Amino acid sequence: MNNPTICAIATAPGGAIGIIRISGSEAITIADRIFRPVSSNVPLADRKPYTLAFGNIVNAENEVVDEVLVSIFHAPHSYTGENSVEISCHGSAYILQQVMFLLTQNGCIPAGPGEFTQRAFLNGKMDLSQAEAVADLISATNKATHDMALSQLKGHFSNELSDLRAHLLKLTSLLELELDFSDHEELEFADRSELYTLACDIHQRLASLARSFKVGNALKNGIPVAIVGKTNVGKSTLLNHLLHEEKAIVSDVHGTTRDFIEDTTIINGIQFRFVDTAGIRTTDDVVENIGIERTYQKLQEAKIVLWLIDQQPTEAEIEDIKERVADKKLIIVRNKIDKSTAHSTFNIQHSTFTTVDISAKYGTNIPVLEQLIVEAADIPQLSESDIVITSARHYSALLLADESLQRVIDSMNLGLSGDLLAEDLRIVIDHLAEITGEERITPQETLQNIFTHFCIGK
C-alpha cells in the first residue's frame, strides 16, 4: 500500500524521556534530514537495522533542538511492517512538539488514533483480534486483564481459530468435491460419521470459547457488586472503606444517598465495580423514591450483593431479598458490631447465605469481607495460555458460528444433502473470519485446499 509516512508522540506527557515514532517507506530518509550523528557521519539509511545512533536533532537553521538516540527498523521487520524510526529525546513538551514540527516540515503527517497498529494489521503483522488486544493491554488495570490481553496478543486465540478454520475448510472442500461429482451418486468423499464427530467436537470448542466470555467480560469491566440496605445502615461508610477513599458522603441523616454512587477497586488482582445505592425505605420524597427504584435496578445488574443490616430483618424483608437475588451471590453484612452485642441473635432462617460481622465505622473485619467478596466472584485461576474471550464482538461472532454449526449437526441427523451442509460450514468459517479480520472463504481457496490435500487422478 502506498501510505504516507506518519509520526506521533508515543509516550505520555510529563516523563523524563519522550519517544516519537515514525513509520512508512520514507521514515528513515525523513529522520536523516533532521538528525546529525555525533561520532560518525554515516547516515541512518546506511546503518544496520536494530541499532542505535546518538546525535542531535537540528532545525533548518542548524540549531540543536535536543540530544537524542535514534532506533532504526527496516521493513518488514518492525511493528508496522514498514520502515520505522523511534527518536528518544528528553520529555519536555516543547522539545517533543519541535521534533514533531520538523518531521511534518520534512514530509511526515501526524498519525491518527491507532494508525500504527492499523498498519500492522494491514501489513499482516497481526490479525484483527491481536490488534484489539493491543488496546486491551494498554488499558489493563490488573494482572488478570493483563494476562488475558497478552495471551490474545501472542496469538493463542488466533491459533485456536486458525485450527478450527483448517478443519472446517477440509470438511467444506470434501463436500464441494462431492458436488463436482454429483453425477456419480455412489461417490462420497466426506465420511459422514467422521464429519459428524468432527462437527460435534468443534461445536464443543466454540461453546467453550463463548462460555469464557462471562469470566472475561467480568474481569475486563469489573465484577459488579451492589451494596444495599435500609437508610443510615452504613452503606456509604462501607463503600469508602472498600474503595480506600472518601467517595460517598457519610451522614446520620436518613436518605443522604439519593442516587447510586459507583467506582472500581482491585482486590487480590481482580477488579470490582462497587455501587452504593440509595437506602431502601418508605418515603413520600419523590427524588428519594427515584433513587430507591435505581437501587433495585442496580441490584438486578449486580453479580454479588452485599446486604447491610444493623438489626434483625423481618421475615418479609428476608423473603424479598431472597427473591431479588435468586441468581446472585449474597453476602449478609451485619454492621455496627462496635455498638451492639446482639449480633449473635441475628438469624436468617433456612438460609445458606454467607454472613460476616463488621464495623464499617472502624474498619473491623473489612479484610474478611473482601476475601468473601473474592470467593463469591468465583473467578478461576488463569494462566497465560488460557483463552478467555473479553470482546462482545468476538462473543457475538462465536455464537453465530456455533448456531450455524448446530444446523450442520441437525442437517446430518436428518440426512440432508451435502450442498446444504457445505453452505452452513462456509457460514461458520465466515463468522470466525470476522474475528480475525480474514477474508471470507472463496471458491479459489476451496479449490486450492482440494488440490493440496486430495489427489484426484493426479
Look up the pTM and report it: 0.73
pLDDT of the residue at 290: 53
The alpha helices in 222-249, defined as continuous H runs, are: 235-243
Interatomic CA distance for residues 75 and 23, integer angstroms: 10
293 pLDDT band, cuts 50/70/90, is low
Contact (Cβ atoms closer than 8 angstroms) between residue 335 and residue 308:
yes
Using alpha carbons, list the distances in angstroms from residue 316 to 25, 371, 444. Answer: 73, 29, 68
pLDDT of the residue at 268: 86
Interatomic CA distance for residues 278 and 288, integer angstroms: 8
Among the residue ranges 80-84, 196-200, 350-354, 445-449, the one predicted with the least confidence is 445-449
CB burial readout 151-174, b (16+ within 10 A) else e: bbbebbbbeebeebbeebbbbbbb
Give the pLDDT confidence of 137-182 residue by residue, as tens digits. 888 877 888 888 888 999 999 999 989 888 888 777 777 766 655 5
More confident residue, 301 or 25: 25
As beta bridge partners, residue 9 has 20
